[in-house]
Amino acid sequence: MKPNNIMVTRSSMPDMEEYVEEIRELWESHWLTNMGVKHRKLQEMLLEYLEADHVELFTNGHMALELTLQSMNLQGEVITTPFTFASTTHAIVRNGLEPVFCDINPVDFTIDVSKIEELVTDRTSAIVPVHIYGNICNIEEIERIADKYGLKVIYDAAHAFGEKYKGKGIGTFGDASCFSFHATKVFNTIEGGAVCFRDKDFGRILSGLKNFGIKGPEEVDGVGANAKMNEFCAAMGICNLRHIDGEIAKRGEIVGKYQELLGDLEGIQLSMVQKDVQTNYSYFPVVIDEKLFGCSRNEVFAELGKSGIMARKYFYPLTNTFGCFHGKYNPDQTPNALHISKRVITLPLYADLPLEDVERICGIIRKNYRK
């Protein structure tokens, strides 16, 4: 990429001196992984920040979700959405479970709760809803359905770090909430993830599975994986968590500028903050109606690219259209998701994105309006 390209996102990082100071003691202890002092410190900080009962750290968000599903010993079918990153669907499939795809609502792009019950069968064991772009699912209705049918609820909360719904930390809902701390997320540990949960017994199983299923020095009672967060990643998380509120505030200013500069254009659906949600401004998606706007999503994407602006068709394609599932699922059964996936584009958004760059991005979009 050219140096002056504007990427769709960019990692937040502390001052180098702050990070170097945080990792200095690792050269003294030589304890680099296996739940060391940095791991424990970050865990404690996240417990407080996320207002969770329990938090387990992972090497990445995908393993957090995959091992959470394994820990629950689920069978049969899991209701989820295809409008998500590959990880959500793959974590289900890699556990020998069958994803059953529910459509999304076209307003906030979360799972359409009015369509969940008709998908429940005697083989359904769980629901995996996705908080998307920082938009929160209809938690009350999902809880009602899960209670009615005795289903587990595991939230893919990769986009929802630090958010609150009706004053409660988003990780306190469902049986578990899984977060990604990938470098591109609002909060990053370079690479990492976490699971918030309430049940201590579940937590013990989950903790064991991330460490090969090892229960003790001479006992292995589960077929696990190696999904432990190392000390360097944990140290980055410690540093970044100190600054997270300021980073989110900066993102909010950028979102406000996008809304100001694009809000009067017909044919563009902008992402708006939901009622009762303290958002993290994780992404800024826009949905382009070609007939009203005057050109397609793909044309806008190409024009931005010509100017070195690396927007993203996020999420496209839908997971139920992936080549690895060829012929297995029918995307026409999730028409809203299919429609949005062909029209959505996420614009650059990160804490240190200059407002003049936002103005340049919006200028290009406006130039193509009814071109």
Residue 4: its pLDDT value, please? 79
Same fold, 16-242 and 244-367: no
Answer left, alpha or beta for residue 206, where phi above 0 means left and psi between -120 and 50 means alpha: alpha
Please give the model's pTM, rounded to 2 decimal places: 0.97
Q: Which two tokens stand for residue 187?
A: 């909060």
State how far the Cα of 235 lies from the Cα of 275, in Å rounded to an integer. Answer: 34
**In which element (H, E) is residue 124 found?**
strand 124-128
Superfamily of domain 244-367: Aspartate Aminotransferase, domain 1 (3.90.1150.10)
Pair 224, 207: CB distance under 8 Å: no
CA atoms within 13 A on the CB side of 96: 5
Pair 132, 83: CB distance under 8 Å: yes
Residue 6: its pLDDT value, please? 97
State how far the Cα of 298 lies from the Cα of 352, in Å rounded to an integer. Answer: 27
Contacts of 99 (CB under 8 A, 6+ apart): 77, 78, 80, 89, 92, 93, 319, 320
- pLDDT, tens only, 238-283: 999 999 999 999 999 999 999 999 999 999 999 889 999 999 999 9
State how far the Cα of 330 lies from the Cα of 336, in Å rounded to an integer. Answer: 13
- pLDDT, tens only, 43-88: 999 999 999 999 999 999 999 999 999 999 999 999 999 999 999 9
State how far the Cα of 111 lies from the Cα of 128, in Å rounded to an integer. Answer: 9
Residue 271: its pLDDT value, please? 87
Nearest to 1 by CA among 308, 206, 217: 308
Residue 48: its pLDDT value, please? 98
Report whether pLDDT(215) > 70. Answer: yes
Residue 371: its pLDDT value, please? 67
Domain 16-242 of CATH type 3.40.640.10: yes
Residue 3: its pLDDT value, please? 58
Q: What does DSSP assign to residue 191?
A: S
- pLDDT, tens only, 96-122: 999 999 999 999 999 999 999 999 999
Residue 2: band (very low, low, confident or very high) from pLDDT cuts 50, 70, 90: low
Report whether pLDDT(139) > 80. Answer: yes
Residue 137: its pLDDT value, please? 98
Percent of the chain with pLDDT over 70: 99
- pLDDT, tens only, 162-211: 999 999 999 999 999 999 999 999 999 999 999 999 999 999 999 999 99
Q: Which two tokens stand for residue 73?
A: 């010993």
Q: Which residue has the tokens 């993290």?
A: 280
Residue 58: its pLDDT value, please? 98
Residue 1: its pLDDT value, please? 54
Residue 308: band (very low, low, confident or very high) from pLDDT cuts 50, 70, 90: very high
- pLDDT, tens only, 309-341: 999 999 999 999 999 999 999 999 999 999 999
Residue 370: its pLDDT value, please? 80
Residue 213: its pLDDT value, please? 94
Q: Tell me the domain boundaries of the chain.
A: 16-242, 244-367
Nearest to 362 by CA among 313, 304, 305, 315: 304
CA distances from 100 to 69, 78, 331 (A): 15, 6, 11
